[in-house]
Structure 1
Amino acid sequence: MPNRLTRAALAAVVAAVLLSGSGTTLAGWNDAELREAQVVSAGELSVEPLGASTVVLRPGTSQPLPASTPLVPGDVVRLTSTVRVSAAGELLTATLGLEVTGLQGLTRSTPQVTTTLPAAGTRGWTVTPANDGASVTAVVDLTVPTTVAQHTTLDAGAIRWTLTQEMP
């Protein structure tokens, strides 16, 4: 009969074999399937400037004066901006906004806007693919105040259009 040390070593080897699982079979199944690439595309929103003008309207004159005309109190600086909106895509809805907060130093009238777009609040209009190519014109009159000092440079500022997509 083998000695005690041999039996202990044999027991350790048998335990290691049983614990390692090498005495059993390992079955592993897997499968793969290739899916063809799909093209995903996004819609498009854009605002394109079509025209802008600045003229001076002076009481007592019948024709607008060029923007370079020296201003006098009571003159009206008329800013006109026309843009075209583009909208393409499924379930696409956006809001066209008009910002005139950059117009400083002059008394500002309420902007007059000409468009076929449906209104979406104050100075906002709804744009969908059905409105693709629609144009919008804004006219803002700025009056030179009577308190303006001589040789003062007035910055008429700018009209800013924004087109922001709305989440469905």
Structure 2
Amino acid sequence: MPNRLTRAAIAAVVAAVLLSGSGTTLAGWADAEHRDQAVLSAGRLAVEPVAASTAVLRPGTSQPLPADTAIVPGDVVRVTSTVSVSARGTLLTGTLSLDLGALGGLGGPTVSATTALPAAGANRWTVTPDDDGAQVTAVIDLAVPATTDGRPPAADRSNWWGEQLQHTTLDAGAVRWTLTQEMP
């Protein structure tokens, strides 16, 4: 009888294995469709330098002096910077900004700008693809105050420059233009 029992046990195990699914096969199906290539392109915003100059304007002189002229109280250091904007793309809008935050060493700057770009605030202009190739020229004047405190010279010379003006430097490279894309 063990023979019969053994056969029944083996049959039960085989049935359990077959019914549990571990003896089944797995079929994977895949399909692919090829499409024509699509060409995508992004717009372009850029600001490029065109010209830059620095000169010293001194009261009583008819011509600007070279940038390496030693400055004295009453002088005006004039920094001129011209840039061109590149704006190509659909629905592209940007803001051109003139940053003078790092320009230091003398009094506060006075800025005048010449451009056809529409103003977007102080020293800021809106740029669109219609403005591609437009130029902006900024003239920045930095007056060297006659005295250390901006008041008339004191009889006791307490507000005169003395040695404080010596070795004062002006980094004209601190005039920074940025062109930032605005989200539509």
Q: TM-score, normalised by structure 1?
A: 0.90
What is the Cα deviation at residue 35 of structure 1? Answer: 2.1
State the distance in 2 between where 1:124 and 1:164 align: 11
Matched, 1:153 2:154: no
CA distance in 2, matches of 1:68, 1:139: 18
SS in 2 for 1:84: strand
Query: For structure 1, which segment, 131-140 or 103-112, has the greater mean C-alpha deviation from structure 2 after superposition?
Result: 103-112
The answer to whether the 8 A contact 1:103-1:155 is kept is no
Letter of the structure 1 residue corresponding to residue 176 of structure 2: R
Amino acid of the structure 2 residue aligned with 1:89: G
Q: Runs ≥4 in structure 1, deviation > 6 angstroms?
A: none
C-alpha RMSD over aligned residues: 2.0
Does residue 140 (structure 1) correspond to residue 154 (structure 2)? The answer is: no
Identity of aligned residues (%): 59
CA displacement at 1:144 relative to structure 2 = 1.4
| Alignment-derived partner of residue 107 in structure 2 | 107
Higher mean Cα deviation, 103-112 or 47-56?
Answer: 103-112
1 CA distance for matches of 2:82 and 2:48? 9
Give the superposition deviation at 1:39.
Answer: 1.9
Tell me what 1:119 maps to.
Answer: 119
8 A contact 2:17–2:23 mirrored in 1: no
What is the letter of the counterpart of residue 82 of structure 1?
T
Q: In the aligned structure 2, how far is the partner of 1:139 from the partner of 1:122?
A: 14
Q: Is 1:56–1:75's contact at 8 Å kept on the other side of the alignment?
A: yes
Shift of 1:56: 0.7
Q: Distance in 2 between matches of 1:109 and 1:120?
A: 19
Post-superposition offset of 1:54: 0.6
The match for 2:44 is 44
Instruction: Report the TM-score when normalising by structure 2.
Output: 0.82
Question: 1:88, CA displacement in angstroms?
Answer: 0.4
Aligned CA distance change for structure 1 residues 14 and 92 (closer, same or farther; 3 Å): same
